[in-house]
Structure 1
Amino acid sequence: MVSPAVLPYIFFAIGIVIGSFLCLCAYRIPRGESILYPPSRCSHCGRRIKAIDLVPLLNYVWLRGRCRFCGCGISVFHPLSELSTGLLFMAACLCYGLSVPLIKALFFISLFILISVIDMEHYIIPDKVIVFALCVGIIFMIFTGDPAFTSALAGFGAALLFLLVLAVASRGGMGGGDIKLAAVMGLCLGWPNGAVAVLLGCLLAGLAGLTLILLKVKCRKDVIPFGPFLSAGTLIALHSGSEIISWYFNSVLIVN
């Protein structure tokens, strides 16, 4: 029997391994390549990566961020994605313990790490990733009853409508992948958590965009990937959506 005190560290280790695999997926999926074959190789010289260089996090350190063979740089997204996945897996274990909600949280974490890396590097969210998320979300809904069917439809419709209106208002500033992802997340979270996720994503994206403009890193017309912010909003809503809604109604509305 594994000690409860050790369990979060086990999930951290599992998370960094999965994070490494997600980086492979993020590289190959936009290019239409198989995620299973061929084995991991350098994206610059094509040489197969040695087994010792596949150890998550540590490989980036001892290789100093460069390929062993050609010396080309390894994207910093790799160690950051591995570390983020590990920490989020650990946090999910601490929050939910060994339970069905933990499985759902781990799925969403993995999905959103994948989407965030792809969107930040390529400014797209592939349809095959969205379809996969939709299928798994429906499976969770059928076997767990969370969310209820009517709640899922309401969440789907609210998220889709809100993003469509925003896309029209921004005159093309919102991508089709963002709209489809928001609709799927609305379906997976149900009403009203799906709406909370989209609103939080918009708020986080707006704050990040304003900060980058003030720091003169981006201009007003520059494109900022929305996928990572929608992902963050969905994870927050998944864990604390009900609390956020209660706080809003009990604090904000009552005060006003």
Structure 2
Amino acid sequence: MILLVTLSALLGLAVGSFLNVVVHRVPAGRSVVRPSSRCPGCDRGILRRDNVPVLSWLVLRGRCRHCGTGISVRYPVVELLTGLLFAAVAWQVGLSWALPAYLYLTAIAVALSAIDLDVHRLPDAIVLPSYLVTSVLLLVASLGTGDWYALVRALVGGVALLAVYFALFVVRPGGMGFGDVKLAGVLGLYLGWLGWSELLVGAFLAFLVGGVVSIGLVAFGRAGRRSRIPFGPFMLLGAVTAVFAGAALGQWYVGLFGLTAA
């Protein structure tokens, strides 16, 4: 297990480096492949030795080697966060057929959260292909485990969460973006594959945390009643939390009524 977690953490650092490119370029409609990473100050290509996740930023003290332009601290933060989350997911899921699927969820969660916070959008370029990628990865997971009920549950979860968000979008126009609706289907697939408790807990936490944070921002004058607060990060936080603790939280809640979670 230690080896798996370590390798996953290293993979996460590398993926985090790529996610920085995704976060910067995808909202602008630019390719994430070409051109290679360049300094925004002098436009010189980033050397390979200066592109080592986290370490290069520390060695260069957050500045370009050539022109001294400052490099945002968010770059190493995204890399480190992705590495830590990959390690945590590997520890939670273990060496299983489902691990690639939930590592992919982790990667898009980091990228989409950062983009939504930046530009208040959840780009179709990431969300829509995730339906296909997620479906294939969860299909492979069910093939490997022989748990076809989990796959059926994933499909039901995806459709159900998509329908709930679409209904909220129609009933209260402007309350959330249509990107949130599209993302809901992807998250429903992941949470449904794990179980009904994870699906319900993940959906509930998104609104709970989003509501608490929004009230806090208004109370402290950081936002007004009509301010647009990106909801995607709360959806993703709720989903990732449910991956780790959804079953336990579901069991705890129904236990309050003397029942047992399915």
TM-score, scaled to structure 2: 0.85
Give distance in 1, aligned partners of 2:224 and 2:62. 30
Contact 2:57 2:76 in 1 (8 A): yes
1:250 is the counterpart of 2:260: no
Paired residue for 2:158? 156
Partner of 2:25: 28
The answer on whether the counterparts of 1:42 and 1:67 sit within 8 Å (CA) in structure 2 is yes
Asked if residue 134 in structure 1 is aligned to residue 118 in structure 2, the reply is: no
Which residue of 2 is the match for residue 180 of structure 1?
A: 182
Q: Residue 59 and residue 213 in structure 1: after superposition, are their counterparts in 2 closer, same or farther (change >3 A)?
A: farther
Other-structure match for 2:101: 104
Q: Tell me if 1:207 matches 2:212.
A: yes
CA distance in 1, matches of 2:163, 2:240: 21
Q: 1:219 and 1:72, CA in 2 relative to 1: closer, same or farther beyond 3 A?
A: farther
> Is 1:230 the equivalent of 2:235?
yes
Number of residue equivalences: 251
How much does 1:28 deviate?
A: 1.5
Alignment of 1:71-150 (within 5 A): 71-145=68-142, 148-150=150-152
Residue 61 of structure 2 aligns to a residue in which SS? Answer: coil
What's the secondary structure of 2:176's corresponding residue?
coil
Structure 1 residue 170: Cα displacement: 4.2
Unaligned runs of 5+ in 1: none
- Equivalent residue number for residue 173 of structure 2: 171
Q: What amino acid maps onto 1:154 in structure 2?
A: V
| Residue of structure 2 equivalent to 1:12 | 9
Per-residue deviation at 1:235?
1.2
Q: 1:154 to 1:97 in 2, by over 3 A?
A: closer
Deviation at 1:221, TM superposition (A): 2.0
Residue deviations 1:202-248 (CA, integer Å, cap 9, x gap) = 11111222222233222222222211111111112223322222222
- AA matched with 2:227: D
Q: Structure 1 residues 8 and 157 mapped into 2: Cα distance closer, same or farther (>3 Å)?
A: closer
After superposition, the Cα gap between the structure-2 partners of 1:215 and 1:74, relative to the gap in structure 1 and judged at 3 Å, is: farther
TM-aligned CA distance change 1:223 to 1:243, over 3 Å: same
Which range is displaced more, 173-182 or 218-227?
A: 218-227
Query: What CA distance in whole angstroms lies between the structure 1 residues aligned with 2:56 and 2:141?
Result: 39
Return closer, same or farther for 1:123/1:60 CA change in 2, 3 Å cut-off.
Answer: same
Change (3 A) 1:101 1:148: closer
Provide the rounded CA distance (Å) in 2 between the counterparts of 1:66 and 1:173. Answer: 40
Q: Tell me whether 163-172 or 14-23 shows the greater mean CA deviation.
A: 163-172
The 3-state SS of whatever aligns with 1:29 is: helix
- Work out the CA distance in 2 between the residues paired with 1:74 and 1:211: 31
Indicate the RMSD between aligned Cα atoms, in angstroms: 2.3
1:45 offset after TM fit, Å?
A: 3.9
Give the counterpart letter for 2:161 in structure 1.
A
User: What is the TM-score normalised by the length of structure 1?
Assistant: 0.87
Q: Residue 116 of structure 2 contacts residue 230 of structure 2 at CA under 8 Å; is this kept in 1?
A: yes
Could you tell me which residue of structure 1 aligns to residue 224 of structure 2?
Answer: 219
Q: CA deviation at 1:81?
A: 1.0
Percent identity of equivalent pairs: 37
Please tell me the residue identity of whatever aligns with 2:233.
P
- C-alpha separation in 2, matches of 1:41 and 1:240: 40
Between stretches 64-73 and 22-31, larger displacement belongs to 64-73
SS at match of 1:100: coil
Shift in CA distance, 65/214, structure 1 to aligned 2, threshold 3 Å:
farther
CA distance in 1, matches of 2:19, 2:224: 31
